[in-house]
């Protein structure tokens, strides 16, 4: 995949702003082995690649100097293989371009742990994971130990982080479970209560943990997972005699927080034209500061899209009410029509806006970067779109097909090209055969009464990597076992969304 010119300009400018490499070191990694890579980064400088492939590490690489890893024109993955991939010390400056960081793990910062400065351009961080330690069970007169937090599946940042055109997906943070509380005190010769269970550790950012300064521009954070550790069980009360009030069991510990996208614990993060979608856990949790502009938050749950006070700089969109956006151009509780995370062109996977999505042309054009995440120039249409993807009517059909006749033939004809399909009739449509969904489709029966009924058949079969949404219609009477309404080929990437009134 090519590096768009503007991104290259950014890279060069970024290198200058950051002081640039020292001029020493540098080199070419010719054979995609760990040994070659380690040799190349020893002296820092600009390192390029003349090979393609996955470099599987036996341990993390520590950056204490000024290094640029530029995989432009090549397919390079750095795999942590069970340990953290990269550690950047306080004196380190690392620029990553056009490469993938995957399969790193630890208890924080599975992909990258940054105390210095990291600039990532057109990178993919995927399948990095962090797991917190379990709290110890109490044995005597005490509460259970707290579970350890797991912070930043992909990145833990206390320094300066610049991410531009990057996709974070499939990363995870699992907090440690709390330990069990001790039982009541048997030697006191009375009934005594049990001790509390330990609190669970936080899943503190499936993708990102930030306590420094972090900038995200044209980035997509999708389908990452944060899971708080379970609270420990309270200890049993100790029963000595019926002459005393019955002993209470200790309370169970509270579970840890579950944050799927970004946990901004302190410091400050800034998001411009980013898409934060489909993460498991809260999308962005803020206890420091987070400034958002032109940013899209969709279907992050449980926990909602935002928590803790996001600063709304305008033209942000949330599919739920949790962000409480109030600035001009921002919207809450909007049903957003998005495709799954997919290769939509450009160097990294993105989440496409579908025809009819209210993020289209709703951004602040002056605040938007001159291209979207893929490198497509913006704005297309009357204004920049909200999020990391700019919708192009000419590459989507732009035609909004309408079901004019409520029959199987009429429905199939209207649905054949995908997109947002609406209705100009009311009634029950009985399908005699399953309709295959092979392109992103929204079936929207708003302001009509439509019932879809299967005549002993499944109604829809959704292909892999295809988004299928249904709005304001009834599905009934398919008459077969297992997934009568529809079958979804990919669990994460193309879950159908049932919105509005459905049955």
Q: Which residues bind Ca ion (CB under 5 A)?
A: 361, 379-381, 385
Cα angle 215-217-222, degrees, rounded to a multiple of 5: 100
Residue 418 corresponds to which tokens in the numbers above?
A: 């995908």
CB closer to Ca ion out of 23 and 381: 381
- Cβ atoms within 10 A of the Cβ of 449, count? 14
CB closer to Ca ion out of 360 and 429: 360
CB closer to Ca ion out of 376 and 431: 376
Give the span between the Cα atoms of 251 and 274, in whole angstroms: 41
Phi then psi for residue 262, to 5 deg, are: -120, 130
**Residue closest to Ca ion (Cβ):** 381
Phi then psi for residue 411, to 5 deg, are: -65, -45
Characterize 42-63 residue by residue with b for buried, 16 or more Cβ atoms within 10 angstroms of its Cβ, and e for exposed.
Answer: ebbbbbbbebeeebbbeebbeb
CB closer to Ca ion out of 65 and 344: 344
Instruction: Answer for the pair 336, 469: CB distance below 8 angstroms, yes or no.
Output: no
State the Rg of the chain over Cα. 26
Q: Minimal distance in Å, beta carbon 336 to Ca ion?
A: 15
Q: Minimal distance in Å, beta carbon 280 to Ca ion?
A: 30
Q: Minimal distance in Å, beta carbon 380 to Ca ion?
A: 5
Give the span between the Cα atoms of 496 and 194, in whole angstroms: 46
Q: Minimal distance in Å, beta carbon 296 to Ca ion?
A: 13
Q: Minimal distance in Å, beta carbon 399 to Ca ion?
A: 18
Q: Minimal distance in Å, beta carbon 376 to Ca ion?
A: 10
| Rounded-to-5 percentages of helix, strand, coil across the chain | 5, 35, 60
Q: Minimal distance in Å, beta carbon 398 to Ca ion?
A: 13
Q: Minimal distance in Å, beta carbon 168 to Ca ion?
A: 24
**Largest CA-CA distance found in the chain, in angstroms, rounded:** 82
Instruction: Answer for the pair 273, 384: CB distance below 8 angstroms, yes or no.
Output: yes
CB closer to Ca ion out of 357 and 462: 357
Instruction: Answer for the pair 42, 61: CB distance below 8 angstroms, yes or no.
Output: no
Instruction: Answer for the pair 18, 24: CB distance below 8 angstroms, yes or no.
Output: no
CA neighbor of 185 nearest in space, from 234, 140, 242? 140
Instruction: Answer for the pair 40, 64: CB distance below 8 angstroms, yes or no.
Output: no
User: Phi-psi bin for 325: left (phi > 0), alpha (psi -120 to 50), beta?
Assistant: beta
CA neighbor of 44 nearest in space, from 19, 14, 69? 69
CB closer to Ca ion out of 226 and 363: 363
CB closer to Ca ion out of 138 and 380: 380
Q: Minimal distance in Å, beta carbon 305 to Ca ion?
A: 22
Q: Minimal distance in Å, beta carbon 384 to Ca ion?
A: 6
CB closer to Ca ion out of 357 and 435: 357
CB closer to Ca ion out of 66 and 385: 385
CA neighbor of 315 nearest in space, from 359, 267, 252? 359
Q: Minimal distance in Å, beta carbon 114 to Ca ion?
A: 33
Give the span between the Cα atoms of 102 and 100, in whole angstroms: 6
CB closer to Ca ion out of 331 and 498: 331
CB closer to Ca ion out of 309 and 379: 379
Q: How many CA atoms lie within 13 A of 103 on its CB side?
A: 12
Q: Where are the beta strands (DSSP E) in 278-380?
A: 282-286, 289-293, 296-298, 306-307, 311-312, 317-318, 338-342, 350-353
Beta bridge partners of 77: 54, 100
CB closer to Ca ion out of 223 and 272: 272
Residue 355 corresponds to which tokens in the numbers above?
A: 């025809």
Q: Minimal distance in Å, beta carbon 337 to Ca ion?
A: 15
């Amino acid at each position: 995949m090519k590096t768009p010119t503007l991104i290259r300009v950014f890279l060069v400018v970024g290198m200058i702003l950051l002081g640039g490499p020292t001029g020493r070191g540098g080199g070419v990694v010719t054979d995609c082995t760990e040994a070659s890579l380690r040799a190349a980064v020893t002296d820092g400088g600009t390192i390029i690649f003349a090979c393609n492939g996955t470099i599987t590490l036996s341990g993390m690489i520590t950056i204490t100097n000024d290094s640029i890893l530029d995989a432009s024109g090549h397919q390079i993955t750095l795999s942590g293989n069970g340990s953290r991939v990269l550690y950047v010390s306080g004196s380190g400056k690392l620029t990553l371009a056009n490469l993938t960081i995957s399969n790193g793990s630890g208890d924080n910062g599975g992909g990258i742990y940054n105390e210095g400065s990291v600039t990532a351009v057109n990178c993919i961080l995927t399948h990095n994971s962090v797991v917190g330690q379990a709290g110890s069970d109490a044995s005597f007169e005490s509460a259970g130990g707290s579970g350890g937090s797991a912070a930043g599946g992909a990145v833990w940042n206390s320094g300066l982080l610049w991410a531009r055109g990057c996709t974070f997906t499939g990363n995870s943070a699992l907090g440690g479970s709390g330990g069990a509380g001790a039982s009541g005190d048997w030697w006191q010769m009375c009934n005594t209560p049990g001790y509390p269970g330990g609190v669970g550790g936080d899943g503190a950012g499936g993708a990102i943990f930030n306590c420094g300064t972090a900038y995200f521009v044209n980035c997509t954070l999708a389908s990452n997972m944060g899971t708080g550790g379970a609270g420990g069980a309270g200890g049993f009360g100790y029963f000595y005699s019926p002459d005393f009030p019955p002993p209470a069991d200790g309370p169970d510990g509270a579970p840890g927080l579950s944050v799927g996208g970004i946990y901004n614990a302190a410091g400050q993060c800034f998001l411009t034209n980013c898409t934060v979608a489909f993460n498991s856990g809260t999308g962005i949790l803020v206890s420091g500061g987070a400034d958002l502009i032109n940013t899209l938050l969709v279907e992050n749950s449980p926990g909602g899209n935002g928590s803790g006070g996001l600063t709304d700089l305008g033209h942000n969109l949330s599919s739920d009410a949790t962000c409480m956006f109030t600035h001009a151009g921002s919207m809450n509780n909007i049903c957003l029509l998005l495709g799954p995370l997919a290769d939509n062109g450009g160097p990294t996977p993105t989440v496409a806006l579908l025809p009819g999505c209210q993020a289209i042309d709703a951004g602040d054009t002056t605040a938007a970067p001159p291209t979207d995440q893929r490198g497509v120039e913006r704005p297309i249409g009357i204004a920049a779109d909200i999020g990391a993807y700019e919708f192009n009517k000419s590459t989507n059909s732009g035609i909004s097909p309408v079901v004019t006749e409520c029959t199987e033939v009429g429905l199939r004809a209207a649905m054949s090209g995908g997109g947002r399909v609406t209705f100009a009739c009311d009634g029950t449509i009985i399908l005699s055969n399953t309709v295959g969904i092979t392109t992103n489709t929204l079936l929207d029966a708003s302001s009509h009464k439509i019932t879809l009924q299967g005549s002993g058949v499944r109604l829809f079969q959704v292909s892999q990597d295809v988004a299928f949404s249904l709005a304001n219609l009834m599905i009934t009477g398919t008459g077969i076992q297992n997934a009568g309404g529809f079958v979804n080929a990919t669990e994460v990437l193309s879950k159908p969304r049932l919105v509005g009134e459905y049955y």
